[in-house]
Structure 1
Amino acid sequence: MSTQHTDQRPGIELRMSPRDLINIGIFGALYIVTVFAINMLGFLNPAVMLIALAASIVAAGVPFMLFLTRVQHAGMVTVFAIVTAGLLTLTGHPAIGFVITVLCALVAEIVLWFGRYRSRRAGVVAYAVYSMWYVGPMLPIFYDREGYFSSESMQQMGADYLEQMDRLLSPAVLIGFTVSTVIFGLLGGLLGVRLLRKHFEKAGLA
């Protein structure tokens, strides 16, 4: 994806190929590993959890932006979202998170379409939009706080952890986190673009 010399890219494909599915699998795995590896720090305490979430949004921008260099038509980001969100749902994330992720992917697809799947600026914005899926797993706190903290996956965190988390995640903090996902998404997209230019393009990977 590039805002310059766009004629160097092949034309936009209309159908998903086996190669597209392979790219979705490879970069989806890299994305999930990045997110999980950093968010594991959140087990220390809820405050670290929020910091880890922000850090993972930024770091995951690298595999996502690299993935976008392989995206040439609509549908790939949505399938990417279905695969990654499906894995997160299987690990205990609320089902509403899956729905939010797919919706974010659809909006990201629109942004990429306006950039004709070649604009890196559009790619950065698309990643910021896609990163709003992070709000999905916490959304039940707004409408079913008691049910969220009493769920089986949350109970495994321990009583002390849940008590700290309940105190920390006030409505104001959750709203602030929602806004911050876009900001950190932009930072992650810009980081991905910078590394694409500095390393991956020289290595012939982007």
Structure 2
Amino acid sequence: SAIVIVLLVHLLWFFGLHGPNIVGGIIEPLYLPALEKNMKLFQGGTSAFDVPNIVTKPFFDTFVYLGGSGATLAFLVVVLLVAKSAQLRGVSRLSIGPGAFNINEPVIFGTPIILNPILFLPFIITPIVLVITSYTAISIGWVPKTVVMIPWATPPIISGYLVTGGHLSGAILQLFNFVIAMAIYYPFVVLCDRSVVRTEKAAEQGNNNSVPM
């Protein structure tokens, strides 16, 4: 069900609809009670490893949506590392601050990711992969389950530590997922950058040709 939810969220986002807000009505009735059960048991002395529910609302906010839907904080970092396009780099510089607090409307609309055929696959695939890596790490006992409700805008690393009841392994899982997300985005950023650079050069050439002699 977690994979279906992230797929739906990101398909809606890609077509310009605010996926988390639309799907939130489905997620919260399912996954907030799951978190509440974990919290009650944890407060009663049960280990965060032993509470029952893996998939909760903080599971998505903390381990999947790194920098917002699509784990776009990883996209921004890759752009700043490898892109040459003035547009992409400019958008990324402006977006990385909000992205650290999981606010990614600037990059989604500014790049844009919406209706961008090059970025469709990584935007959809990345959160699905992060659901799988996170679920696996928690289910085999490498990382505790989520037992604390924190604000969704809590920055990565801090949020991973807090949401698991103060376990460093939660932050380590976020770092691992971030590297995975960067690896997925990298080839698509290169392709997107080449496309945008060609457009920028064509526009510059057109402007030069239009200057009267």
Above 0.5 in TM-score? no
Q: Is the helix fraction higher in 1 or 2?
A: 1
TM-score by length of 2: 0.31
Q: Which has the larger radius of gyration?
A: 2
TM-score by length of 1: 0.31
